[in-house]
Amino acid sequence: MSLVILPLTIQTTAALVSLLGTLLVVSVVVYLFKTSSDYEEKSSAKAKVYRMRDRYFLGLALTILIVLITSLSMLPYPKFHKNPDSVVTVVAMQWLWKMAPEAIAADQDLVAFAGKNEITLPVDKLIEFRVTSADVNHNFAIYNSKGTLIAQTQAMPKYYNNLQYKFTEKGEYEVLCLEYCGMPHAYMVAKIHIE
Ligand SMILES: [Cu+2]
């Protein structure tokens, strides 16, 4: 039998930490009950466990609160939202992308919108993608030439998500849909050329 060693990603670390935490709690409870022989000791052990549980709960609540407050200030909006150098409208629909280097009117018919699935944009300029959908939920995801996801946002009907991104390298980028939207979902591909 060979031992499977999982790579230490954030997920496996989190799983390991919760497993160790659970084992710790279980062993303390088992120890307390094993070492208490008569009823009197059992009820005092029970009180001890309850006290521990209260402290554990308070500690956990405090940790979550601190992490929440700290991480909220790290959210990328609207603090980092700047005036873009150019605006690109992106309309997703089953099963294609339409992109055009202009902002569109709120009442414009999205199905008739004359965008293309290929666009050329300048390097080192702040681009704002205004992403929406003409039908169901899609996800506008930009991949670099190495196949690494570099930016993404949800494409939702009747709503615009503004995604700002500055391409620092020239080359070919690929847009894929990251929200399953029907059988040909995987063929929803567009190209961004950065010059
Ligand atoms: Cu899709």
| Per-residue pLDDT at 3 | 58
Contact of 164 with 90, CB cutoff 8 Å: no
Cα(16) to ligand 1 centroid in Å equals 33
Question: What DSSP assignment string belongs to 96-132?
Answer: EEEEESS---TTS-TTT---BSEEEE-TTSEEEEEEE
Domain ranges of the chain: 10-72, 86-194
Q: Which CATH superfamily is domain 86-194 in?
A: Cupredoxins -  blue copper proteins (2.60.40.420)
pLDDT confidence tier of residue 77, bands split at 50, 70 and 90: low
Question: Which has more confidence, 166 or 34?
Answer: 166
Alpha carbon distance 141, 124 (integer Å): 19
For residue 8, what are its two tokens? 């230490």
pLDDT in tens, 126-149: 999 999 999 999 999 999 999 999
Mean pLDDT, residues 34-60 taken together: 82
Distance between Cα 155 and ligand 1 center (Å): 10
CA 83 – ligand 1 centroid, Å: 30
Give 133 Cα–ligand 1 centroid separation in angstroms.
Answer: 11
Instruction: Report the separation in Å between the CA atom of 143 and the middle of ligand 1, taken as the mean of its atom positions.
Output: 15
CA-to-CA dists, residue 131 to 54, 64, 140, 157, angstroms? 47, 33, 7, 10
C-alpha of residue 110 to centroid of ligand 1, in Å: 17
How remote is the CA of residue 94 from the centroid of ligand 1, in Å?
Answer: 8
Residue 1 has pLDDT above 90, yes or no: no
Report the separation in Å between the CA atom of 7 and the middle of ligand 1, taken as the mean of its atom positions: 29
CA of 24 to the centre of ligand 1 (A): 43
Between the CA of 179 and the centroid of ligand 1 the distance, in Å, is 5
Q: Could you tell me if residue 8 is left (phi over 0), alpha (psi between -120 and 50 degrees) or otherwise beta?
A: beta
In angstroms, the first-to-last Cα distance of the chain is 54
CA–centroid distance, 124 to ligand 1, in Å, is 29
Q: How many angstroms separate the CA atoms of 35 and 41, rounded?
A: 9
Whether residue 161 has pLDDT greater than 90: yes
Query: CA–CA separation, 188 vs 182, rounded Å?
Result: 10
Strand order in the sheet with 149-155: 118-121, 189-194, 171-177, 138-143, 149-155
How far are the Cα atoms of 34, 99, 136, 147 from residue 88, in angstroms, in the given order? 67, 7, 20, 22
pLDDT for 11: 80
Which of 160, 163, 192 lies closest to 176 in space, CA to CA?
A: 192
Q: State in Å: Cα 98 to ligand 1 middle.
A: 14
From residue 36, alpha-carbon distances to 22, 41, 55 in Å are 22, 5, 22
- Using the mean position of ligand 1's atoms as its centre, give its distance from the Cα of residue 144 in Å: 19
